[in-house]
């Protein structure tokens, strides 16, 4: 599938896109972009959040290019232009985060490390941040540093309600209902701005809806029970005592002060247990900081520029 352009969201300079197969048969849509500014600082691999797609990051990609970075990004399996599980392509489904880790390994091996200059960095949002954290033992030899934007470390309802949702999802999977939407989920692709919890910037919000209106096949609805069970398994592993000290990849977590999707408190708590992590909050920002108003995005980029590329 070609990259989709809509008014106000042009394809960044020098785009090269294609499809690549994972060892287990999934097809991933990816794109790489050369640096447009100088001096050359290396390559940033952008790890998207759940239900996102390459086009959503065109503005971010252009900003990274101008900073002197080559950029690579891709659609996780089950979303965007990558292959999907089952017959209902609108369900955000995955059986285990090991599938996502295989996606990332495939892109890094066959695109990033083979075609792009080092040093290598990661910029991961939300679910992309959870995937990166779950694989840091391997990724510390592939990335020099990583910035996590509103990482999915815990759901907004931290505590017994969060644990109950994970247990319920596991039971539904055991009953053979893993591929169904989570309770209350639906196939809605383009919510109204007034109902969104992602951003306070209506222009950027409607720009992403315009991409979906033009190519609905890029969209995905609510997650499935299996997806939620997989998330629970991963997030609970972050709370094990030995997890924090075991992470040696230098990481900066940038949280949203007004996040209504993931828990900023859980992110801060994890950062305090990680010997190689820093933590910053952007006050007032909603979940998608990079799609937020400039007053919030400017603070994000100031933190990013202070951390990447960094120095030994």
Peptide bond into 102 cis (omega under 30): no
Report whether pLDDT(158) > 90: no
**306, 281 in Cβ contact below 8 A?**
no
Which of 172, 181, 169, 171 lies closest to 88, judged by CA? 181
Domains parsed from the chain with CATH numbers = 16-307 (3.40.50.1820)
- For 253, list phi and psi in degrees, rounded to 5: -100, 125
Reported as a single tens digit per residue, the pLDDT across 91-140 is 889 999 999 999 999 999 999 999 999 999 999 999 999 999 999 999 99
Distances (CA, A) of 209 to 135, 160, 192: 32, 34, 9
Indicate the SS3 state at residue 79.
coil
Of 41-50, 82-91, 154-163, 276-285, give the lowest mean pLDDT range: 154-163
Contact (CB, 8 A) for 63 and 290? no
* pLDDT (0 to 100) of residue 213: 96
Compute the distance between CA of residue 233 and CA of residue 243 in angstroms, rounded to an integer: 14
Cα–Cα distance, 238 to 217 (Å, whole number): 33
Question: What's 178's DSSP letter?
Answer: T
CA 229 to chain centre: 18
Mean pLDDT of 170-176: 95
Question: Considering the entire predicted model, what is its pTM?
Answer: 0.96
Give me the chain's average pLDDT, please. 94
Helical packing angle, 225-238 and 160-174, nearest 10°: 130
pLDDT digits (tens, 9 = 90+) for 211-241: 999 999 999 999 999 999 999 999 999 999 8
């Amino acid at each position: 599938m070609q990259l989709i352009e809509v008014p106000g969201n042009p394809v960044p300079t020098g785009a090269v896109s294609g499809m690549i197969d994972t060892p287990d048969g999934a097809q991933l849509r990816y794109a790489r972009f050369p640096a447009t500014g100088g001096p050359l600082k290396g390559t940033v691999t952008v790890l998207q959040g759940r239900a996102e797609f390459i086009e959503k990051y065109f503005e971010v990609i252009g900003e990274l290019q101008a900073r002197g970075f080559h950029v690579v990004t891709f659609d996780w399996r089950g979303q965007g232009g990558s292959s999907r599980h089952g017959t209902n392509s609108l369900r955000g489904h995955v059986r285990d985060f090991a599938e996502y880790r295989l996606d990332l390994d495939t892109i890094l091996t066959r695109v990033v490390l083979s075609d792009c200059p080092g040093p290598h960095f990661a910029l991961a949002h939300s679910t992309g941040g959870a995937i990166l954290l779950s694989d840091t033992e391997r990724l510390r030899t592939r990335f020099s540093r990583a910035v996590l934007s509103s990482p999915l470390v815990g759901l907004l309802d931290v505590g017994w309600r969060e644990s109950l949702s994970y247990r319920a999802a596991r039971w539904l999977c055991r009953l053979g209902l893993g591929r169904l939407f989570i309770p209350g989920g639906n196939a809605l692709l383009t919510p109204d701005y007034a109902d969104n919890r992602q951003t306070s910037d209506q222009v950027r919000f409607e720009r992403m809806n315009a991409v979906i209106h033009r190519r609905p096949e890029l969209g995905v609805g609510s997650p499935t029970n299996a997806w939620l069970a997989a998330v629970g398994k991963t997030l609970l592993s972050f709370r094990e005592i030995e997890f924090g000290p075991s992470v040696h990849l230098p990481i900066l977590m940038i949280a949203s002060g007004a996040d209504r999707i993931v828990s900023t408190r859980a992110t801060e708590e994890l950062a305090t247990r990680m010997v190689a992590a820093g933590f910053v909050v952007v006050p007032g920002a909603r979940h998608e900081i990079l799609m937020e108003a400039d007053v919030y995005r400017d603070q994000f980029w100031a933190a990013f520029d202070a951390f990447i590329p960094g120095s030994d």
